[in-house]
Structure 1
Amino acid sequence: MPAPQEPIDRRAIPPAARESTFALADGHAIRRIDWPGAGGGQRGSILFLPGRGDFYEKYLETLEQWHRAGWRVTAADWRGQAGSGRLGNDAVTGHVDDFSDWTADLAHLWTAWKAATPGPHILAGHSMGGHLVLRALVDGLVAPDAAILSAPMVGMAGPPLPLGVLHAAARLMTKVGKPTRPAWKWSEKPGEMPADRSDLLTHDGARYADELWWREQRPELVMGPGSWGWVERAYASSRRLEERGAMEKVHVPVLVVSTSADRLVSHASAVRAARRLPKGELIAFGDEARHEILREIDPVRERALAGMAEFLDRVAPQENP
């Protein structure tokens, strides 16, 4: 009978994990965190990318669980987020010149990471991270053995208007003012989290509080609204994904995990993506799950993680067991 495992402290870097930096192609340094993998990572390796305004500290619990399951685990910031600098004109607005900047960074990290880790190699992303993983797959920049997309931002929740109309409106907003200016209001008091923000993310109050704790402990992680430039480029990238034949040429097994109660990204778009991908699969939640499925109440998390494990055991079995 295996010995019981120690509980996971969501407010501490796990003992087996190591934080460091990684130099991108142009020398820009991003933060990363690595677990060597229980038993040397005999199960394989997972590279996880978080969402817009996110940081890897929010996912320590899930990353540690993967590590304990035998995976060699890595997570990293996106350029311009969390502790990896900013690309706009202030310390809190999330900006990017183009989403292809991020997918190029991902391709660079992927190449170095894959060469240094045991297979099978899995690429996972949450929300905007899921969008960028899918975009990199569509553009042929990465070739994992399988991919997992958690609440992917294939489309954004919002007005039920055609994507082209939404993109045109966002493009206009980048012309009538600076593209780096915030696209929405953060809160009544700058720097404070909106009172109803937790209602968008998770039913689990304790896990939501963990994020606020990490922001207090590491102020460099704090990020507020996206810029109008980010919004316009997000719509442009979504149009790339929606192109005829784009997803259909991706032959990597992809698991999409999404919830119909999501008010930040489009569940319908995620479901459609799972259907368009030749080897796409879907785990769908309802009112029991909000946007941050991996930070939800235990029954939701357990179902999501069990589904991911079953998917990976089937499509990316352990090499040379």
Structure 2
Amino acid sequence: MTTGETEVAIAETIEKPIDRRAIPPLASESRWQAEDGHELRRIDWPAGSEPARGSILFLPGRGDFYEKYLESLEELHRAGWRVTAADWRGQAGSGRLGDDALTGHVDDFDDWVADLKHFWDGWVAETPGPHVLAAHSMGGHIVARALVDGVVKPDAVVLSAPMLGMAGPPLPLAMLHSVAKVMTKIGSPTRPAWKWSEKPGEMPARRRDLLTHDDDRYEDELWWREKRPELAMGPGSWGWVERAYASTRELEAPGAMEAVDVPVLVISTENDKLVKHEAAARAADRFPKGELISFGPEAHHEILREVDGVRRRAMDGIFEFLDRVVPARQ
């Protein structure tokens, strides 16, 4: 497309409703290579206006895939942002690292931090600023690790229901980590850490109640998994659990988050049954430039895929935050 043709296409697209079950017409899917040659998926939108408002890189959670967030990503694009999303290695359409096609395994969260650094360095060099890093759940954990480790320096960060503490037994983190270490020793660390369902690959009966109040948006995920079977993922491995606790202990270290000099917006819900809201709220306090948007019983874990009223408040909060901390360049 010429520049003029692209501008016309963008203008026409903005007028249309967002189809959550189709790759947007201006988005393009491709693959990129990590430093070790592992191939991962990505999806890119051109800037939704000229000049570009800036660029946003979005990273999903554990067992997630970027198709689930097409609505929010397209909305950001229509607001003028150049948008990119990508898989984590071993998830969605980017292969598996365990012994089967469903269990989510990783040898170390450091591998994901390294992948993010490699992708970020190249992406920043080829996209207009300001540069924003956004992520959901486990993606938020890895982004927080990358910030604490000092391997990325975005202009702003948005974390949706970040996995800064996992829901589970009310025991000290060190004790939970010790138990997970034992479980990786008494059996294969790649084996599932929890039961998924009676039939491999079938969704647990009450999974919807953990994620969103919006039936249609929940069904979108199932539709994409049926259309693209390679996206399906079940439980995490015991190796994943042990490494998650180990990485969380790094984030909990005194002074870790306090050294991050980046504006960070944390969006969390007290009703979350998958990650600890208390840990997310505490992180918003620990980041020197941290802010918190908090929800109650009206929101489950997937806030960006919730009912319209909840989702609208979250998206409006993101836009307000970005307009304030990274204003458009004149």
TM-score, structure 2 normalization: 0.95
Is residue 2:218 matched to residue 1:233?
no
Displacement of 1:41 after TM fit? Answer: 6.0
Taking the aligned partners of 1:282 and 1:134, their CA distance within structure 2 comes to: 15
Q: Map 1:7-86; keep pairs closer than 5 Å.
A: 7-40=17-50, 42-86=52-96
1:88 matched to 2:93? The reply is no
Find the counterpart in structure 2 of residue 149 from structure 1: 159
Q: Distance in 2 between matches of 1:41 and 1:287?
A: 40
Aligned equivalents of 2:149 and 2:29: distance in 1? 30
Confirm whether residue 310 of structure 1 aligns to residue 327 of structure 2. Answer: no
Gaps in structure 1 of 5+ consecutive residues: none
Structure 2: runs of 5+ lacking an equivalent: 1-10
Following superposition, the deviation at residue 254 of structure 1 comes to: 0.2
In 2, are the aligned partners of 1:41 and 1:118 still within 8 Å (CA)?
A: no
Whether the 8 Å contact between 1:99 and 1:233 is mirrored in structure 2 is: yes
Could you say what secondary structure the match of 2:199 adopts?
coil
SS where residue 49 of structure 2 aligns?
helix
After TM superposition, give the deviation of residue 191 of structure 1 in Å. Answer: 1.3
- Residue type of the alignment partner of 2:158: I
Report the residue type matching 1:121 in the other structure: H
Q: 1:9-52: per-residue Cα shift (whole Å, max 9, x none)?
A: 00000001000001111111100000002124610000000000
Q: Secondary structure at the match of 2:70?
A: helix
Work out whether 1:183 is the aligned partner of 2:193. Answer: yes
- Give RMSD over aligned pairs: 1.0
- Which of 267, 275, 278 is matched with 1:265 structurally? 275
Q: Give the superposition deviation at 1:65.
A: 0.1
Using the TM superposition, give the Cα deviation of residue 100 of structure 1 relative to its aligned residue in structure 2, in angstroms: 0.5
Assess, with a 3 A threshold, how the Cα gap between structure 1 residues 213 and 41 changes in structure 2: closer, same or farther: farther
Return structure 1 stretches of 4+ with deviation > 2 angstroms.
Answer: none
CA contact (8 A) 1:121 1:144 kept: yes
What percent of counterpart residues are identical? Answer: 73
Q: In the TM superposition, what whole-angstrom CA distance separates every residue of 1:198-224 from its partner, at most 9, and x where no partner exists?
A: 000000000000000000000000000
Please say if 1:196 is aligned against 2:206: yes
Alpha-carbon separation, structure 2, partners of 1:48 and 1:187? 30
- CA apart distance, 1:255: 0.2
Count of matched residue pairs:
319
TM-score of the superposed pair, with normalisation by structure 1:
0.98
Distance across 2 between alignment mates of 1:284 and 1:29: 36
The C-alpha deviation readout for 1:274-306, integer Å capped at 9, x for no partner, is 001100000000000000000000000000000
1:215 corresponds to 2:225: yes
